[in-house]
């Protein structure tokens, strides 16, 4: 007998005819998003704090460089060391969660991150700032993967994309308000406050963590893959050192040495991971098409876009003579563009699927990046705001789609490792992207005049747009895949 939809039928039930001993219907259980609302807000707050700190430095780069008596482009070390530390230590998060539980790991991450922020705020030299940023990275390395992992374990599959959209929205707000807050603090107070404001936020996060964070762990955790971790960390560090050294006079031999060393360590790690029961990064997950496409697409997309904030700030402040606050305010249209498309992402993915949406949107991101080369010091601010708005919209769609793709074909038992691998790929590509953008800017910079920075900005964004375009070919390797809706 076919089921009948009673939701649209008038209620003609005779209540008096129901037997008194008939068991009452159980009350409907609230959805997982409702039951874990506090958890979603906690993870969103952590993403906001981390994203804020990843971008708040960009607007302050000229001011910090002046205070520490270095050139603005040399500040890339303070930017790349933070994201590289995230990438290197993120693979430890699955084992730490299994061994100590998600509540302790997440709380410890907030504590170390806040301590690193305090050290950044009192740094007196660039090496001190770099070391403090590494401490920040040690804490931040667990925030994003543990947050994603807990959401995957707690939220129903059909509601996961919506929950991640909420979290990603706050992450995007942090990345956009970072330059705005940084510009205001630099112009009216001191650049040191851009780090110190994390301390009270971290205290609030610790309080929420005790109340809202579930404690997932294994009764008996396996041994940590220390040797594999050392191989992976060494390969990642040597890759970035090679990228940082490119462009220096007489450094060709050093670049070659770093690159070959990274290649050797990477090959050794691949061999090691195949012989280890619990590798620090399980490369066998790359056999799942959605996983390897997500990671590879993330790499090329973020390689092209990660340095965009730094380049835009240098273009506006040095090339166009804008104040730090004015340059930071130009990031607000991106927040508006990002938020404006968030409510539609779930429906767009359901309608078009991951393949068509990511393929077309990656091409759109590439076109938007190249279009920034049309800007000049004479361009009206409202037109620049329009470019930034469109950029925010397409990047919002890109980030949410890429970040959820890795999980759509995986069993929940692989969620922790997939989260770790996705975050590692994200931050490795971000560190390389910032280094690439800085190297392009330095390479095209004929003179340190305002005109020189404008010229270098134009050609740099064109090259970055072409790099991003490579990601469209990768996303074209996907099968027709859609998020779970039932």
What 3-state class would DSSP assign to 456? Answer: helix
Give the sign of the dihedral formed by CA 10, CA 16, CA 17, CA 20.
positive
Among 148-162, 286-300, 371-385, 431-445, the range of highest mean pLDDT: 371-385
Are residues 306 and 242 both part of a single domain?
Answer: no
Would you state the pLDDT for residue 380?
A: 94
End position of a domain, from candidates 279, 299, 317:
279
Q: Which has the closest alpha carbon to 468: 395, 401, 400, 406?
A: 395
In a domain, 482, yes or no: no
Query: Is residue 21 in some structural domain?
Result: no
pLDDT beyond 50 at 1: no
Q: How many Å apart are CA 356 and CA 479, to the nearest integer?
A: 9
Asked whether residue 28 is assigned to any structural domain, the reply reads: no
In whole angstroms, what is the distance from residue 223 CA to residue 98 CA?
10
- Report the candidate in 148, 485, 418, 484 with the shortest Cα–Cα distance to residue 283: 418
- For 420, half-sphere exposure in the C-beta direction (CA atoms, 13 angstrom radius) is 23
Q: Predicted confidence band at 425 (pLDDT cuts at 50, 70, 90)?
A: confident
Number of H helices, E strands in the chain: 18, 0
Residue 353 sits in the same domain as residue 295: yes
Same domain assignment for residues 85 and 124 = yes
Contact 334, 174 (CB under 8 A): no
15 within domain boundaries: no
7 has a pLDDT exceeding 50:
no
Tokens 């004479």 found at? 378
Give the model's pLDDT for residue 32: 58
Inside any domain, residue 1: no
Q: Are 114 and 234 part of one and the same domain?
A: no
- 286-310 burial code (b ≥16 CB/10 A, e <16): eebebbbbbbbbbbbbbbbbbbbbb
Domain end point (choices 279, 299, 322): 279
Residue 318 sits in the same domain as residue 241: no
Q: Is residue 468 domain-shared with residue 395, that is, in the same domain?
A: yes
Residues 151, 66 share a domain: yes
pLDDT at 364: 93
pLDDT of residue 378 exceeding 80 = yes
Same domain (yes/no): 254, 389: no
Two tokens, residue 447: 């003179």
Structure-block tokens of residue 400: 């949410």
Per-residue tokens: 307: 């340095």
- Residue 448 belongs to some domain of the structure: yes
- Integer CA distances (angstroms), 16 to 12, 13, 75, 77, 287, in order: 12, 9, 78, 77, 61
End-to-end CA gap in the chain = 23
Mean local confidence (pLDDT), 44-49 = 79
**Contact criterion met (CB below 8 Å) for 191 and 204:** no
- 462 pLDDT more than 90: yes
| All residues at 6 or more sequence positions from 442 whose CB lies less than 8 Å from its CB, including other chains | 73, 247, 456
Residue 124 to residues 191, 269, 445: CA-CA distances in angstroms? 12, 38, 28
Cβ neighbours of residue 242 under 8 Å, at least 6 residues apart?
255, 258, 259, 262
Whether 153 contacts 415, CB under 8 Å: yes
Flag whether 464 is in a domain. Answer: yes
Residue 52 pLDDT grade (very low, low, confident, very high; cuts 50, 70, 90): confident
358 and 326 in a common domain: yes
Alpha-carbon gap, residue 232 to 445, rounded angstroms = 34
Inform me whether the pLDDT recorded for 368 exceeds 90: yes
Which residue bears the tokens 């068509």? 356
How far apart, in whole angstroms, are the C-alpha atoms of residue 483 and residue 486? 9
One domain for residues 141 and 261: no
Write out the DSSP string of 177-229. HHHHHHHHHHHHS-TTHHHHTHHHHHHHHHHHHHHH------SSPPPP-HHHH
Give me the percent of the chain exceeding a pLDDT of 70: 86
Q: What average pLDDT score do residues 133-160 get?
A: 80
Nearest to residue 129, comparing CAs of 165, 173, 86, 80?
80
Report the CATH number that the domain containing residue 382 is assigned in CATH: 1.20.1250.20
* Whether residue 14 has pLDDT greater than 70: no
Considering the domain architecture, whether residues 58 and 171 belong to the same structural domain is answered as: yes
Q: Are 234 and 84 in contact (CB under 8 A)?
A: no
Give the per-residue SS3 of 171-183. HHHHHHHHHHHHH
Q: Is the pLDDT of residue 24 over 70?
A: no
Domain that holds residue 231: 225-279
pLDDT score recorded for residue 30: 57
Pick the range with the lowest mean pLDDT from 78-92, 351-365, 406-420: 406-420
Is residue 386 very low, low, confident or very high in pLDDT (cuts 50, 70, 90)? Answer: very high
Residues 183-198: tens digit of each pLDDT:
788 888 888 888 888 8
How many CB atoms within 10 Å of residue 135? 19
Using an 8 Å Cβ cutoff, are 465 and 370 in contact? yes
- Shared domain check, 184 and 238: no
Q: pLDDT averaged over the chain?
A: 79
Residue 412 in any domain: the answer is yes
How many domains, the chain? Answer: 2
């Amino acid at each position: 007998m076919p089921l009948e939809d009673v939701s649209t039928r008038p209620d003609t039930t005779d209540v008096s005819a129901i037997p008194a001993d008939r068991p009452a219907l159980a009350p409907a259980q609230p959805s997982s998003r409702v039951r874990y609302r506090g958890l979603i807000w906690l993870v969103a707050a952590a993403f906001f704090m981390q994203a804020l700190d990843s971008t708040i430095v960009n607007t302050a780069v000229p001011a910090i460089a002046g205070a520490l008596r270095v050139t603005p482009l040399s500040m890339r070390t303070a930017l790349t060391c933070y994201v590289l530390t995230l990438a290197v230590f993120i693979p430890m998060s699955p084992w730490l969660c299994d061994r100590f539980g998600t509540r302790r790991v997440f709380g410890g991450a907030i504590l170390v991150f806040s301590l690193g922020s305090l050290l950044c705020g009192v740094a007196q030299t660039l090496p001190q700032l770099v070391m403090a940023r590494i401490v920040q990275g040690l804490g931040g390395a667990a925030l994003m993967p543990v947050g994603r992992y807990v959401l995957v374990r707690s939220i129903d599959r059909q509601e996961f994309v919506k929950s991640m959209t909420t979290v990603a929205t706050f992450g995007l707000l942090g990345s956009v308000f970072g330059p705005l807050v940084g510009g205001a603090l630099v112009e009216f107070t001191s650049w040191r406050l851009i780090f110190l404001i994390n301390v009270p936020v971290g205290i609030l996060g610790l309080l929420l963590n005790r109340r809202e964070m579930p404690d997932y762990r294994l009764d008996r955790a396996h041994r940590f893959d220390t040797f594999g971790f050392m191989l992976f960390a060494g390969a990642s560090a040597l890759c970035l050192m090679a990228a940082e050294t490119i462009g220096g006079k007489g450094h060709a031999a050093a670049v070659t040495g770093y690159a070959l060393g990274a290649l050797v360590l990477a090959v050794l790690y691949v061999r090691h991971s195949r012989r280890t029961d619990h590798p620090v990064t399980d490369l066998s997950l790359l056999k799942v098409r959605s996983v390897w496409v997500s990671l590879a697409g993330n790499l090329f997309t973020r390689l092209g876009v990660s340095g965009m904030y730094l380049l835009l700030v240098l273009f506006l402040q040095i090339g166009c003579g804008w104040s730090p606050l004015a340059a930071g305010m130009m990031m607000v249209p991106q927040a508006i563009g990002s938020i404006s498309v968030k409510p539609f992402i779930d429906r767009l993915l359901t309608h078009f699927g991951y393949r068509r949406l990511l393929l077309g949107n990656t091409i759109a991101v590439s076109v938007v990046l190249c279009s920034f080369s049309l800007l000049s010091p004479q361009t009206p601010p409202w037109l620049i705001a329009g470019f930034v708005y469109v950029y925010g919209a397409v990047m919002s769609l890109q980030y949410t789609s890429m970040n959820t793709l890795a999980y759509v074909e995986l069993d929940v038992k692989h969620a922790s490792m997939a989260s770790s691998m996705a975050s590692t790929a994200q931050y490795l590509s971000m560190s390389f992207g910032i280094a690439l953008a800085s190297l392009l800017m330095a390479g095209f910079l004929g003179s340190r005049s305002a005109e020189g920075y404008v010229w270098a900005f134009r050609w740099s964004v064109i090259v970055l747009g072409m790099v991003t375009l490579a990601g469209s070919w990768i996303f074209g390797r996907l099968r027709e895949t859609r998020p779970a809706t039932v």
